Amino acid sequence: MTKPVAKTLAFRPGERNIFFHILTACNLACSHCYINPTQHGREMVSRQTMEEWLRLFFDPAKENNLIFLGGEPTLHPDLAHGVKFARALGYASVTIDSNGFLFHDILQQLTPPDAVLSFSLDGPDPAVNDPIRGSGVFAVCTANLQQAVHLGFRTSLIYTVSRRNLSHLHRMPALLKSWGVQRFFIQVIGLRGKPAARGEADLQLTPEEWLATVPAVARQAAKLGIEVIFPKVFLEEDEVFQCAGRVAENFFIFPNGRVYQCPLCEDHPLNTWRIEDNQLVKNQGLVEEKLFTLDIPEGCVMNKLLQPGNLRYDPDGRPLHRISCCLLKQEMRPG
Ligand code: SF4
Ligand code: SF4
User: What does the pLDDT look like over 183-197, one tens digit per residue?
Assistant: 999 998 865 555 555
Residue 203 has pLDDT above 80, yes or no: no
Mean pLDDT of 280-307: 94
Give φ, ψ of 115 to 5 degrees: -160, 155
pLDDT band at 6 (very low <50, low <70, confident <90, very high): confident
Fill in the DSSP letter of residue 139: H
In a domain, 260, yes or no: no
Q: Is the pLDDT score of 249 beyond 70?
A: yes
- Does residue 257 lie in a domain region? no
CB of 227 closer than 6 A to ligand 1? Answer: no
- Which atom number of ligand 1 is nearest to the Cα of residue 120? 1
CATH number at residue 162: 3.20.20.70
Which ligand is nearest to the Cα of residue 158, counting in written order?
1
| pLDDT score for 265 | 94
Record the pTM: 0.94
Least confident of 51-55, 243-247, 303-307: 303-307
Residue 205 in domain: yes
**Residue 25 alpha carbon to ligand 1 centre in Å:** 9
Characterize 61-85 residue by residue with b for buried, 16 or more Cβ atoms within 10 angstroms of its Cβ, and e for exposed. eeebbbbbbbbbbbbbebbbebbbb
The pLDDT value recorded for residue 223 is: 96
Nearest CA to ligand 2 atom 4: 325
Q: Is residue 303 domain-resident?
A: no
Q: Please report whether residue 115 resides in a domain.
A: yes
Q: Is the dihedral of CA 272, 230, 16, 194 positive or negative?
A: negative
Q: Name the band, by pLDDT with cuts 50, 70 and 90, for residue 305.
A: very high
Domain, as residue range, for 186:
6-241+323-332
Q: Quick check: is 299 in a domain?
A: no
- pLDDT class for 201, splitting at 50, 70, 90? low
| Beta carbon of 97 within 6 Å of any ligand 1 atom | no
Number of domains in the chain: 1
Give me the pLDDT at residue 190, please: 64
Q: Choose which residue among 270, 302, 329 to substitute to test ligand 2 binding: the one with the highest number of ligand atoms within 8 A of its C-beta.
A: 302
Q: Is residue 34 part of a domain?
A: yes
Q: Which atom of ligand 1 is nearest to the CA of 26?
A: 4
- Residue 10 located in a structural domain: yes
